[in-house]
Structure formats: C-alpha cells, structure tokens
Amino acid sequence: MTPVLNKVYIIIVLNWNHHEGSFVDPLSRILEGLTYGLA
C-alpha cells in the first residue's frame, strides 16, 4: 500500500476500535482522511 493509504487504514482501524463498530463515524473519518491525504 502507498503511505497515504497506509495512514488512512490506520485511522480507520483506530476509529473503528474507538467507536466499537459504529458505521457513520468511521466513514466520515475515512472521507476526512482521504480529503486531507489528497489535499
């Protein structure tokens, strides 16, 4: 994986664990991560 995708993946995993499987928050974090990663 590219470094950006790696960072996004880590963010997803951390947020998934933090929110214990809540879909909406991790998805919004993914979008934020992609936005900042590509910006």
Successive 10-residue mean pLDDT values, the chain, 39 residues: 81 67 68 78
> In three state form, how does the secondary structure of 7-27 look?
HHHHHHHHHHHHHCCCCHHHH
pLDDT at 32: 84
Q: What is the pLDDT of residue 11?
A: 79
10 Å CB burial of residue 30 (0-12, 13-18, 19+) is middle
Give pairs for 33-36: CB < 8 Å, separation 24+: 33/7, 33/8, 34/8
